[in-house]
A = this chain, B = another copy of it.
Amino acid sequence: MTAKNAFYAQSGGVTAVINASACGVIETARQHKDKIANVYAGRNGIIGALTEDLIDTSSESDAAIAALRYTPSGAFGSCRYKLKSLEANKREYERLIEVFKAHDIGYFFYNGGGDSADTCFKVSQLSETAGFPVQAVHVPKTVDNDLPITDNCPGFGSVAKYIAVSTLEASFDVRSMAKTSTKIFVIEVMGRHAGWIAAAGGLVEDHDIPVLILFPEIELDQERFLAAVKAKVEKHDFCTIVVSEGAKYPDGRFLAEQGTRDAFGHAQLGGAAPVVANMVKDALGYKFHWAVADYLQRAARHLASKTDVDQAYAMGKAAVELALQGHNAIMPTIVRASNAPYRWEVGEAPLSKVANVEKFMPRDFISEDGLGITTACKEYLIPLIQGEDYPPFEKGLPKYVTLKNAPVAKKLGAFEL
């Protein structure tokens, strides 16, 4: 078997640990030089493959690649760009094959969420549909935690930890101020369709914090919600509210829609927190503060979950190993072996069963009134936020790596996206 090159790309929203997966891919590939000559990364994701804008990761030192493990964001750039079906856009697939041929690419590692799993699956079919031999392996990543089959998704554990810790800290703050000032603290978190991240805020309940959650899965019952807020404030003098960006009115409208859409056609959200805060103020008169964590939550590598970092790395490593074993159209998964003590192992799933399937919060993870989480949910979440894995600091700031990202010499003509 002659050594082929591998293509690796990051796709969709980045996370605190997607670079840990990149680290797993590249370090593992470097241990198998006989089979994987070089790892070429797509600059800005799949766009890098289409425009032949490849990054030569072999020009990075071992130390720089190791530093990816504790560096948030997407070190090679990511993109929001979804390939259409082969029938609808044959030109893009032909271009991919052209680029892969020109650079002797035999392995395709795609690091992303549900939309990206679909792209990866389409690429995996090129052997059959276009007669081009490439092994495509998806490396799971999404803060939304909504990929099927895998017990959880790399990226989620760290954002869950960030939201749980931040909600706890801000709730302590509000509790201090409630006598004469703020009684309501609203924190808006990511999660367009699935409430996994919002659920993590519910973990503060075990620290004596009165908390209510607005999930995307449960349509807002305004009357019930306001009654619950009132009851919490009357009992505890304050209340913390975690609202998912995807929380909706009964008519299906998002609490806050900015009116713009991303490249996948998803509505761009933001600003549910002030809507909820004002709703409470108008009905109950409580003084409020609100926060929108936005990118802070998914970039917060300084507070990453060690479990998450380890799993992100393991998924990158397993992806390469699956490819070397000859697999195609596959994704490594995280399999939960036990809850307490938490044990997990690496499994695998066929991409045909992963692409375009979203995993929502099971109804028995949400409390009966729709405004909290259950014990089963807590047992699921706690292991995922377990452990700290601090980056090194210098002059008070984390010492994150910025790679050289040297380009691979182009061999083909330009390509219009």
Contacts and interface: CB of A to CB of B under 8 A. Distances in A.
B207 A47 contact: no
A357 to B, nearest CB: 24
Interface stretch (A86-94, A177-185, A214-222): A177-185
Interface residues of A, number: 79
A397 B176 contact: no
A398 interface: yes
Given A263-B181, A295-B185, A14 B176 contact: yes
Interface of A: 10, 13-14, 16, 44-45, 47, 71-75, 77-81, 161, 164-166, 168-170, 172-182, 185, 187, 203-204, 207-208, 260, 262-263, 268, 270-271, 273-274, 287, 289-296, 298-303, 305, 382, 384-388, 390, 393, 395-398, 400, 402
B260 A170 contact: no
Contact of A47 (B71, B79, B179, B393): B179
A263 B181 CA distance: 8
A290 B269 CA distance: 11
B73 A180 contact: no
A270 B287 CA distance: 13
Give the most central of A77, A204, A387: most B CB within 10 Å: A77
A270 B292 CA distance: 11
Contact of A400 (B168, B185, B298): B168
Nearest to A182: B295
Given A72-B173, A169-B301, A303-B303, 20 more contacts: A13-B177, A44-B180, A47-B180, A73-B176, A77-B176, A78-B177, A79-B177, A79-B179, A164-B396, A165-B302, A169-B300, A173-B295, A181-B262, A187-B296, A203-B397, A207-B397, A260-B287, A384-B396, A388-B393, A390-B390
